[in-house]
Structure 1
Amino acid sequence: MATVTALSVSGMHCNHCASSVTRELKAVDGVEEVIVELHANETSSVRVISDDPLPEDALRAAIDEAGYDVTGVEVLEDAVAAEYAQQAPARQAPHTLPIVRS
């Protein structure tokens, strides 16, 4: 079961900031992938993908180590499966051929 931990992070301004956060988070045990959506001079979105829920304090410590602040945390268990289920009809539509009768 995949877990997505969505973190709101303030203070990031550039790709170097995103790289620093990514590097620190990937060092946390259990982190599979890190996705950063950078919003310069605003709160950025950082998604951490793992097999199981991760300790929030470890994620906060990693971002603090990179020099940034966590302003919000949301844990979505089995989020990947839910997202695929929600998108399935849209993905299937282009592959459905109309039935033409003559």
Structure 2
Amino acid sequence: MRTRTIEVKGMSCNHCVQSVTRALSGIEGLTNVKVDLTFGTATYDETKPVADDVVKAAIERIGFTAGNYR
């Protein structure tokens, strides 16, 4: 298992945080999703490899911009 953190741009409220959390939690292989509004990031654990493009697409599908991994 590895932990990843990705930038999420465009979040402005707790509803945004909940939306990103839901979107990432719905991806098979991702657990312990934590979205931080202040830092504009989403951190999650991978229980199996998940392609970066899959995560970025889930973020962008709900109207936010996926940035770089940290």
The TM-score with structure 2 as length reference comes to 0.89
Residue 12 of structure 2: aligned partner:
13
Q: Secondary structure at the match of 1:33?
A: strand
Counterpart-to-counterpart distance in 2, 1:49 and 1:67: 23
Say if 2:26 is the partner of 1:27: yes
- Which of residues 50, 58, 61 is equivalent to 2:57? 61
Counterpart-to-counterpart distance in 1, 2:44 and 2:58: 12
Residue 79 of structure 1: aligned partner:
none
RMSD: 1.3
Residue-by-residue CA offset, 1:56-83 (whole Å, 9 max, x unaligned) = 0110011011210011114xxxxxxxxx
Q: Spell out the pairing of 1:1-102 with structure 2 (5 A cutoff).
A: 2-39=1-38, 44-74=40-70
**Larger helix proportion of the pair:** 1
Unaligned runs of 5+ in 1: 75-102
Larger radius of gyration: 1
Unaligned runs of 5+ in 2: none
**Larger strand proportion of the pair:** 2
Q: Secondary structure at the match of 2:35?
A: strand
The TM-score with structure 1 as length reference comes to 0.63
Identity rate, percent? 31
Deviation for aligned residue 1:52:
2.8
Greater relative CO (CA pairs within 8 A, separation 6+) = 2
Deviation for aligned residue 1:33:
1.7
